[in-house]
Amino acid sequence: MKLLYNNGCITTDQIKIKRVIFQGDSFSPLLLCLALVSLTSVYLHYIDDLKLYSKKEQEQVGELKIVKQFSDDIGMQIICKLLGICAKACMKKGKLTSAGNIVIDEATELQELDQERIYKCLGVDESDGIQQSKLKEKIRNEYNRRVKLILKTELNGRIQVEAINSLAVLVVSNRLENLRTEGD
């Protein structure tokens, strides 16, 4: 184990715990922190949804290569083929156009988003062909569902407001600008 502090570093041999450490023990909080240190870098290497925007096809390819290189550098994998959910879309003047698939490297290829295909972002369907009134209704329903779930919990009022702001409002704010610009 290594312990870094302001004046240097202390290195120990492997620490073997030969008995259970109970919650009331004085070592319990310290050992919990030490155990979590090794996990902190693991959960940071996960991206659920990533959207890149560019003006030209070449810029899009460049952005994707940067993301791929960065992902490789930090040990994160892009698993499009395994999940089959990665796609790219080329929009010109608000309409979906065909530009072909993008090959980042021999292991990673992004398929073009079909006109009929719909993908979900934060629980909301997104596609070029979705009618805005139906989308507004889905956003409203998803927002109400999340608020009801939060209000059913036994959290105190302040925490419930924070949860609504971070979980329910996120659905609305994610699509609000697109709804304003696209119109009905």
- Between CA 11 and CA 9 the distance in angstroms is 7
> Could you report the per-residue pLDDT of 55-85, keeping only the tens digit for each?
777 787 788 788 778 777 777 766 655 444 5
Q: Is 72 left (phi over 0), alpha (psi -120 to 50) or beta?
A: alpha
- Between CA 155 and CA 53 the distance in angstroms is 38
Q: Which two tokens stand for residue 119?
A: 């993908």
> Could you report the per-residue pLDDT of 108-160, keeping only the tens digit for each?
666 666 655 565 555 555 555 556 677 778 888 888 998 999 999 888 888 99
Treating both helix axes as pointing N-terminal to C-terminal, what angle do 169-182 and 132-151 enclose, rounded to 10 degrees? 170
* DSSP H or E run through 27: none
